[in-house]
Amino acid sequence: MKRLILVRHAKSDWPEETEDFDRPLADKGLEEAMHMSRFMKNNNVAIDYFVSSPAVRALNTCKIFNQSYNINITTNEKLYNPSESNFESVIYDLDDNVNSVAFFSHNNGISNFANSISEDIFHFPTCGVAGFEIDCNSWSEFDGAKKRLMFFYDPGKIK
């Protein structure tokens, strides 16, 4: 059994003359990410590995989560402005020793991908997190594997 956790980056800012890729987190986003990462860690959401879009807002969200988790982080350009197939491509590149992975990415791609693998889905708010159980032993079996939504956390609705 594998676990895939999808995290939309926290609330970002868009200062003048800043490229989309370089947008920083807003103060609210910093708070959202700290709150969500502590909530997940305190609720025993196990994660072995983080893969983030290299965009500043996604990578900084990932780094804040890593203050709670203290695990390996890698970046993958396929998670910036991603299509559904981009997510699958990153999944197929995962080592099978990784049982639980979190991807830090962007809308609309992250919502579209979540909708493609689940019937229960939604539109991700900033710093929204969805966790899926994937019924497989190898990430290479992802496409044909049964997928089940385990949780969805909206930062505005967690305590």
Average of per-residue pLDDT across 133-156: 96
Using the predicted structure, report yes or no on whether residue 78 has a pLDDT greater than 70: yes
Contacts of 55 by beta carbon, 8 Å cutoff, 6+ apart: 9, 20, 21, 22, 23, 80, 106
Count of other CB atoms within 10 angstroms of residue 109: 22
Average pLDDT across the chain, whole number: 95
At 120 the pLDDT is: 78
pTM, two decimals, is 0.97
At 121 the pLDDT is: 66
Band (pLDDT 50/70/90 cuts) for residue 90 is very high
